[in-house]
Amino acid sequence: MPTMLPLWLLASLLAVSQTLPFEQKGFWDFTLDDGLPMLNDEEASGAETTSGVPDLDSLTPTFSAMCPFGCHCHLRVVQCSDLGLKAVPKEISPDTTLLDLQNNDISELRRDDFKGLQHLYALVLVNNKISKIHEKAFGPLRKLQKLYISKNHLVEIPPNLPSSLVELRIHDNRIRKVPKGVFSGLRHMNCIEMGGNPLENSGFEPGAFDGLKLNYLRISEAKLTGIPKDLPETLNELHLDHNRIQAIELEDLLRYSKLYRLGLGHNQIRMIENGSLSFLPTLRELHLDNNKLSKVPSGLPDLKLLQVVYLHTNNITKVGVNDFCPVGFGVKRAYYNGISLFNNPVPYWEVQPATFRCVTDRLAIQFGNYKK
């Protein structure tokens, strides 16, 4: 049974602009900082007029008497979640900056549903039954930066998204195709979460991401068999976990030299071609757990900033003394603080201590627990 989020938690979205996580465990978890320095919305998008916090002083006076029946309204936050609503309610105050409509039964967004809401900053439509969106439904939302429309029945990316948009979360829908031009004009966008859709590699038209300068992209829990081509080369985080990827070929990562984090866990990867990782000079975190690798990928010692490597639950049978650390001194700029190798058929007693000479301490290494 969905529970109603307290108003103070909703309002906190308007007061903080924080980094994006590697793994989102709950709907609101992405507001928490996980410790890795990342660009904020403005730095990543290059936007000068948008901000992580709306300028409340510049907004119109509060229309405190206007609040839809059954909703809770406070400090320009209108919470109408968990009410069984069939449509977007009327009488929403024009000065509203956050509108929460999650966990309802809304099936359609009509042309005038958001009329007059020109100050809206965040719109939450998660867990409804939305399958149809009028092409001009988002027209009035000239200041919208965050649109959360996950867990609905959408079969396509909504048309005519607001040009002010910074963050789009549209995971767990029924989207099979990302056509060219669907993100046209979204020059401030830096985060798209579109996992949990039945997307195959053929579903991405050439040029689908043209013009985007994304910082973060997640296409997990889809039907990908390889790394998609022509993703934005500005990416700092790319998460393709829980797909059907079988191999990483030499040029798959060629254009992603700015990646800090790469998530490829829970795939079917058997082979990573030699030299593939050399295109990722700024990589700090690499997730290759729950695959079918038989050896430690080559090239790890050359990644001077790499700090975390997840290789647990593979078929690795041997760990060489130079698999992780470079030969000599002064080459690696950041020591490892996490290497996971548990649940692999490695005879751990044969691994030489010098193998982990560039690890912060022994607690950073996870061995053992292998079962046939």
Residue 291 has phi, psi (to 5 degrees) of -125, -155
**Rounded Cα distance, 326 and 323, in Å:** 8
Rounded alpha-carbon distances, angstroms, from residue 220 to 262, 264, 326: 12, 9, 32
Q: What is the pairing mode between strands 247-248 and 261-263? A: unpaired
First-to-final CA distance of the chain: 39
Dihedral over alpha carbons 324, 328, 332, 337 (to 10 degrees): 50
DSSP string, 61-109: PP-TT---TT-EEETTEEE--SS--SS--S---TT-SEEE--SS---EE
User: Structure tokens of 334?
Assistant: 């950041």
Identify the three-state secondary structure at position 123.
Answer: strand
pLDDT tens for the chain, 372 residues long, are: 444 445 444 445 444 434 343 343 333 333 333 333 333 333 333 333 334 444 444 444 445 568 999 999 999 999 999 999 999 999 999 999 999 999 999 999 999 999 999 999 999 999 999 999 999 999 999 999 999 999 999 999 998 999 999 999 999 999 999 999 899 999 999 999 999 999 999 999 999 999 899 999 999 999 999 999 889 999 999 999 999 999 999 899 999 999 999 999 999 999 999 999 999 999 999 999 999 999 999 999 999 999 999 999 999 999 999 999 998 765 777 899 999 999 999 998 889 989 999 998 888 899 876 555
On the CB side of 20, how many CA atoms lie within 13 Å of its CA? 24
**CA nearest to 197, candidates 179, 229, 174:** 174
The per-residue pLDDT for 5 is 47
**Rounded Cα distance, 58 and 62, in Å:** 11
The per-residue pLDDT for 47 is 36
The per-residue pLDDT for 70 is 93
Q: What is the pairing mode between strands 72-74 and 271-272? A: unpaired
User: Structure tokens of 187?
Assistant: 């020059």
- The DSSP H or E segment spanning 43 is helix 41-45
Q: Which residues contact 342 (CB under 8 A, 6 or more apart)?
A: 312, 313, 366, 367, 368, 369, 370
The per-residue pLDDT for 327 is 87
What is the total residue count of the chain?
372
**Rounded Cα distance, 315 and 338, in Å:** 19
Identify the three-state secondary structure at position 232.
Answer: coil
On the CB side of 119, how many CA atoms lie within 13 Å of its CA? 21
The per-residue pLDDT for 371 is 54
The per-residue pLDDT for 65 is 64
On the CB side of 132, how many CA atoms lie within 13 Å of its CA? 7
User: Structure tokens of 198?
Assistant: 């039945």
User: Structure tokens of 111?
Assistant: 């042309």
Q: How many CB atoms sit inside 10 A of residue 372's CB?
A: 3
The per-residue pLDDT for 56 is 42
